[in-house]
């Protein structure tokens, strides 16, 4: 099994989600969308795709040429039933590929720790380990999206209704960050420095809450990712376990 992971920031990575992939001895490689040339990306070489977060907006395709390229890859994934996991910016890319509008969130930035409220569908979905009864989640986004037609809403938060959704059996999107590790959080602290100065993000409060919530998030994120692998690859994924 081979997984392509598209990154959109210098500090981006699979973070805590990487453990499940390594434990199962699955192959994976990063593609830095802002740097690498993937004009001739061959989807047939991969068994699943992950799209990670980033600070740009999906509506900025005129500025960032990789956005339209990734949307086309997502459309191919949908047509060929290739499993996809989208996180934050990745969830917004998926929404665009499914025909929905992505836009600046009217409630303002959603930053820091807060729980996911699972819908009834969410409680029996792959994201169940990430619900408010099990863990808090980290959020770092200023954009949101309309729920794509045909998609199933899996979770909401106090600020935004569309926090997670599925489309069919293989397409899963999360606005929040299950992959967050201490290392990734440190990179966010640097990348979002401008938001500290204008009061949009309370870095000290987030650091204190991290002491309380990070350990549990890491545990639940691993449960979530193992479930995603099971769903994506079935018995083939299980065969890779040492």
The answer to whether residue 83 sits within a structural domain is: yes
Name the residue range of residue 34's domain: 2-235
pLDDT at 208 over 90: no
Q: How many structural domains is the chain composed of?
A: 1
- pTM of this prediction? 0.91
Phi, psi (degrees; rounded to nearest 5) at 161: -70, -40
Tokens 């992950």 identify what position? Answer: 50
Three-state DSSP state, 43: helix
Instruction: Assign 30 a pLDDT band (cuts: 50, 70, 90).
Output: very high
pLDDT at 73: 96
Q: Note whether residue 171 is domain-resident.
A: yes
One-character DSSP codes across 147-211: PPTT-EEEEE-SS-S-SEEEETTTEEEESS-TT--HHHHHHHHHHTHHHHHTTS--HHHHHHHHH
Q: Across the strands, what pairs with 210?
A: none
**Within 10 Å of residue 66's Cβ, how many Cβ atoms?**
21
Q: Is the dihedral of CA 228, 232, 234, 237 positive or negative?
A: negative
Is 151 domain-assigned?
yes
Helix (H, G, I), strand (E, B) or coil at 106: coil
CA distance 215 to 9: 24
What is the number of residues in the chain? 242
Assess contact for 52 and 3: CB atoms under 8 A.
no
- pLDDT confidence of 240, banded at 50, 70, 90? very low
**Structural domain includes residue 242:** no
Confidence of residue 239 (pLDDT cuts 50, 70, 90): very low
Q: Which residues are catalytic?
A: 88, 177, 179
In a domain, 241, yes or no: no
pLDDT tens-digit readout, 162-198 = 999 999 999 999 999 999 888 877 776 666 655 545 5
Q: DSSP 3-state helix, strand, coil percentages of the chain (rounded to 5)?
A: 40, 20, 40
Confidence of residue 135 (pLDDT cuts 50, 70, 90): very high
Q: What is the CATH number of the domain that holds 117?
A: 3.40.50.880
Cα separation, 53 vs 9, whole angstroms: 7
CB 208 within 8 A of CB 166: no
240 inside domain: no
Phi, psi of 131 (to 5 degrees): -70, 165
**Residue 161 is assigned to a structural domain of this protein:** yes
Confidence at residue 242, expressed as pLDDT on a 0 to 100 scale: 38
- Confirm whether 93 is domain-assigned: yes
In the chain the first and final C-alpha atoms are separated, in Å, by: 14
What is d(CA 67, CA 117) in angstroms, rounded to the nearest whole number? 30
């Amino acid at each position: 099994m081979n997984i392509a992971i598209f990154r959109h920031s210098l500090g981006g990575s699979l973070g805590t989600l990487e453990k499940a992939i390594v434990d199962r001895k699955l192959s994976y490689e990063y593609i830095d969308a802002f740097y690498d040339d993937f004009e001739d990306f061959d989807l047939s070489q991969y068994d699943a795709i992950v799209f990670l977060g980033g600070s740009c907006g999906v509506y900025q395709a005129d500025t960032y040429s990789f956005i339209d390229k990734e949307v086309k890859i997502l459309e191919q994934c949908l047509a060929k039933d290739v499993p996809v996991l989208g996180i934050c910016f990745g969830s917004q890319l998926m929404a665009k590929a499914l025909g929905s509008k992505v836009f600046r969130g009217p409630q303002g930035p959603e930053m820091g720790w807060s729980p996911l409220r699972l819908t009834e569908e969410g409680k029996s979905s792959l994201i169940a380990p990430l619900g408010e009864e099990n863990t808090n989640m980290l959020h770092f986004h200023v954009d949101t999206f309309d729920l794509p037609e045909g998609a199933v809403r899996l979770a909401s938060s106090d600020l935004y209704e569309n926090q997670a959704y599925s489309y069919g059996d293989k397409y899963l999107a999360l606005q929040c960050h299950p992959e967050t590790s201490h290392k990734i959080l440190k990179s966010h602290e640097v990348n979002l420095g401008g938001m500290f100065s204008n009061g949009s993000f309370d870095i000290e409060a987030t650091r204190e809450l991290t002491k309380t919530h990070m350990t549990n998030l890491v545990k639940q994120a691993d449960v979530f990712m193992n479930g995603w692998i099971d769903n994506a690859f079935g018995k083939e994924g299980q065969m890779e376990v040492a």
